[in-house]
Amino acid sequence: MDVVVVGSLNMDLVVRTARHPLAGETLPGSRLDFFHGGKGANQAVGAVRLGARVAMIGAVGTDSFGQALGSALAAEGIDTAGLRRVDQTGTGTAMITVSDAGENTIVVVPGANLRCDVAWVRQNQALIASAKVLMLQLEVPMAANLEAARVARAQGCQVIFDPAPAPAGPLPPELAALVDHIVPNEREAQALTGIAVDTEAGAREAGGALLAQGYRRAIIKLGGRGALLAGPEGLHLVPGFPVTPVDTTAAGDAFGAGLAVSLVQGYQPLEAVRRANGVGALAVTRNGAQASMPRVEELEQFLSLGGEPR
């Protein structure tokens, strides 16, 4: 495999509304849609659409949501041999509110994702060992992430860790030594470092702080501003591509997929981040999570035009 993803699968229930409601307020929504999501599955779909050979390790219920999610991954050409199907536990779900400005709020019910545990990772360690890049997030148990990262490290596989959703407390100290690239967004970077990342100076300071924690590279996603790369290459702001956002759901997952595939393809870190910025920019111009992931032909055309979406 080029990319193996250990992570979550969710059914996303997406409500469109003019703005996000205040506490205790009821607002009318304009529509309700069901999209296939979960950070892990989003990244897997993003990577396979960019031309990578991808396998997914995770867990779903035996309900209709789980059946739909598994079938959709298989239809994309993703290896689903590592997908666990568990009884008496519902498939993970996410309630997402998207405003007319394209910003979102998300509440996740993990469900079966919590059954992607250490034992299941060990059953699939040969699959992880076959990968060039392993992708991890925080929607499955941390113990499973650590076990997967240990397997990958022992085989010389690069590890990309997306610390999302933002952790409520410190991450295990062992994790940094197992991760090649940590890719938080602004809020997650602040949660991990205590440094506000609302300016370029703040992003640079946070990037340096993550390196001090032991991560080889830190790539802080800055939305439309691009991304801050901190690593052996120094500190570099890699500009983003100006687009009009429609739905920012899974933009970070699209970025992660773009980064993973670019590394598999041999791009150096700065160019890999630039390409990842392009994937994220294309994704926010469309509705949905997996539905928004661009294909490799779209990305190459977008980059060849200097970042002009068709």
3-state SS class at 189: helix
Residue pair 240/281 in contact (Cβ under 8 Å)? The answer is yes
Per the annotation, the verdict on 79 as an active-site residue is no
Strands of the sheet with 79-86, listed across from one edge = 79-86, 54-61, 3-6, 133-136, 158-161, 181-182, 217-221, 226-231, 234-239
Q: At what angle do helices 39-49 and 251-264 cross, to 10 degrees?
A: 50
* C-alpha to C-alpha distance for 187 and 205, rounded to whole angstroms: 14
* C-alpha to C-alpha distance for 248 and 287, rounded to whole angstroms: 8
Q: Which of 2, 12, 162, 253 is catalytic?
A: 253
* C-alpha to C-alpha distance for 245 and 68, rounded to whole angstroms: 28
Residue pair 59/118 in contact (Cβ under 8 Å)? The answer is no
* C-alpha to C-alpha distance for 32 and 147, rounded to whole angstroms: 38
Phi, psi for residue 20 in degrees, rounded to 5: -75, 140
Active site amino acids: 253
